[in-house]
Amino acid sequence: MKNLRACFIMTLILLISPFLVYSAEMGKFSYGDFEQPKRCGMCHKEIHQEWQQSLMSQSFTHEWDQVEYFKLALPHALKLQKVSGIKGGCIACHGPLAFLSGDIPPKPAEAGTRANEGVSCEICHNIIGTTEEVPFNFSFIIEPDKVKQGPRGDAKSPAHDVKYSEFTISPELCATCHDEQSPYGAWVKTTYREWKASPHANGGKRCQDCHMYHAPGKSAFGGKERADMAHHNFHGSHFPSKLAGTVDLALYTKNKEITPGSKLELRAELFNGKAGHYIPSGSTEERMLWMEVWAIDAMGKHYPIPVDPKGFHGEEYTIADPKAMAYQAMGEIMEIKDFKGLKRDGNVQEGARIFRRPFLDPKGRMTICQWYTENNTLVDYRIGPMETKIENYTWSVPAEVASGQLTIKASLFFSQVPSSVGEFLELPAFEYEPIPVNTATLILEAR
């Protein structure tokens, strides 16, 4: 009888909430089962400072997360049965303490609950494994207790026991939160899967090697001096210094001189030698990498040079078009009457090549709502790990070009969120301003 009832409840949970399937852990614990990061920081001072400056400590509190959850995802979850699981699902990765304690939905950041601790020390160092063969959707198994999972077996601490954990040092730990499937079955985050298929995985370069810098030092007061202490920077695309130079850029032309009325042919080569996954990766639904090419004549006049189309399927999403509209789903969720959508490409210069992967909602419109994504396999024009992309340009040199020095400048930019979306939702400007990644120039002579 008891079994039958349990079986019935399980079936019900499976039916109503696609997200809960992967997590046996919602509400299994209470906030009191987890220590606060500042307590760990008493001995692990440097690591605590690094973690505080990283996005890990802000994964619930930082403004864009608050806006997306409270203005879009949560209202949508309450309105549309199919996505109801995200009410807890978003929080499982962004405010795991709240999820594990069953505080769903959590109060907004200003209430100061422990959801605000984000991805804390106690999350990563109490995770002992995953329920999945290839992890995704917060499929971690967690045991909050006095034993801290770590990279060494020989550490001695007065505050806790330590256990060497194969899982802690593996990219599969990261995969539990960095890969995600939408309620419609679309793979909306695939950073781990991208890495796994890359030369970096074969070469033994882990997520930890590129995102947690290793250097000689001590991780704690009273700890041992280590040759390769793991810093907790977790720098990603929110750090312009991490993005700078991620993609090499080279520009070529046969010509040394141009004449008005002639055609100038240019070639750009873009090589992703530094990221262990595609660029952009992670929140691919809202990220753009794009290249603008300009000619600048001796009088300082600027002429945009549009990319030559290649003719592949879905290419229209990869060439900036100021007339293209998208993101209509946001208006529906926010109940804005006659919402026509926003500029798909924000302020990106017309004709610029955009390296991106468009996500489409169930009505076939491009969306930044990854939970409301049905299909994102139409085209994937991002730059893969160790991949080179070639772009060609044919410029019809206008009659008015001033004679003298002519500069061709290619600039590569990255943005977290399209500027149209950022402005509409009133996000802080750093979330949508173009971040420079690289530039290349050629100097020619105009006759």
Can residue 435 be called a binding residue for ligand HEC (CB under 6 A)?
A: no
Binding test (CB under 6 A) with ligand HEC, winner from 26, 114, 135, 192: 192
Cβ–Cβ under 8 Å, residues 85 and 77: yes
Cα–Cα distance between 266 and 252 in angstroms, integer? Answer: 6
Cα–Cα distance between 173 and 286 in angstroms, integer? Answer: 24
Cα–Cα distance between 354 and 362 in angstroms, integer? Answer: 23
Can residue 160 be called a binding residue for ligand HEC (CB under 6 A)?
A: yes
Which positions ≥6 away from 334 have C-beta within 8 Å? 71, 72, 75
Binding test (CB under 6 A) with ligand HEC, winner from 40, 258, 326, 412: 40
Considering only 93-101, 303-311, 346-354, 386-394, which stretch makes contact with ligand HEC by CB under 6 A?
93-101
Binding test (CB under 6 A) with ligand HEC, winner from 55, 128, 325, 379: 55
Cβ–Cβ under 8 Å, residues 441 and 407: yes
Can residue 64 be called a binding residue for ligand HEC (CB under 6 A)?
A: yes
User: Any idea which residue has 């009457």 for tokens?
Assistant: 337
Cα–Cα distance between 210 and 385 in angstroms, integer? Answer: 13
User: Any idea which residue has 């000619």 for tokens?
Assistant: 295
Tokens for 398, please give them. Answer: 């206008």
Cα–Cα distance between 302 and 408 in angstroms, integer? Answer: 10
Q: Total residues contacting ligand HEC (rule CB under 6 A)?
A: 98
Cβ–Cβ under 8 Å, residues 306 and 339: no
Cα–Cα distance between 345 and 417 in angstroms, integer? Answer: 10
Cα–Cα distance between 311 and 306 in angstroms, integer? Answer: 15
Can residue 158 be called a binding residue for ligand HEC (CB under 6 A)?
A: yes
Considering only 165-173, 259-267, 334-342, 356-364, which stretch makes contact with ligand HEC by CB under 6 A?
165-173
Binding test (CB under 6 A) with ligand HEC, winner from 106, 150, 384, 422: 150
Segment 335 to 374, residues that bind ligand HEC, using CB under 6 A: 371
Give the nearest distance from C-beta 281 to ligand HEC in angstroms.
4
Give the nearest distance from C-beta 133 to ligand HEC in angstroms.
16
Give the nearest distance from C-beta 328 to ligand HEC in angstroms.
18
Between 335 and 338, CB nearer to ligand HEC: 335
Upstream peptide bond of 280 is cis (omega within 30 degrees of 0): yes
Q: What is the largest CA-CA distance in the chain?
A: 91
Between 224 and 301, CB nearer to ligand HEC: 224
Positive or negative, the Cα torsion across 410, 415, 421, 424? Answer: negative
Q: Using CB under 6 A as the criterion, what x/- string covers residues 283-302 for binding ligand HEC?
A: x---x---------------
Binding test (CB under 6 A) with ligand HEC, winner from 28, 82, 238, 267: 238
* Other beta carbons less than 10 A from residue 190's beta carbon: 24
Cα–Cα distance between 63 and 85 in angstroms, integer? Answer: 22
Binding test (CB under 6 A) with ligand HEC, winner from 75, 108, 223, 434: 223
Can residue 142 be called a binding residue for ligand HEC (CB under 6 A)?
A: no
Binding test (CB under 6 A) with ligand HEC, winner from 220, 288, 291, 329: 220
Residue nearest to ligand HEC (CB): 282
Between 69 and 359, CB nearer to ligand HEC: 69
Between 104 and 212, CB nearer to ligand HEC: 212
Can residue 116 be called a binding residue for ligand HEC (CB under 6 A)?
A: no
Cα–Cα distance between 370 and 89 in angstroms, integer? Answer: 12
Considering only 219-227, 347-355, 392-400, 403-411, which stretch makes contact with ligand HEC by CB under 6 A?
219-227
User: Any idea which residue has 């290619």 for tokens?
Assistant: 410
Binding test (CB under 6 A) with ligand HEC, winner from 17, 101, 116, 168: 168
Binding test (CB under 6 A) with ligand HEC, winner from 85, 144, 171, 351: 171
Can residue 71 be called a binding residue for ligand HEC (CB under 6 A)?
A: no
Cβ–Cβ under 8 Å, residues 219 and 40: no
Query: Which residue type sits at 97?
Result: L
Binding test (CB under 6 A) with ligand HEC, winner from 109, 114, 117, 242: 242
Segment 172 to 191, residues that bind ligand HEC, using CB under 6 A: 173-174, 176-178, 180, 191
Which positions ≥6 away from 215 have C-beta within 8 Å? 228, 229, 231
Binding test (CB under 6 A) with ligand HEC, winner from 37, 88, 106, 129: 37
Q: Using CB under 6 A as the criterion, what x/- string covers residues 409-428 for binding ligand HEC?
A: -------x------------
Cα–Cα distance between 201 and 206 in angstroms, integer? Answer: 7
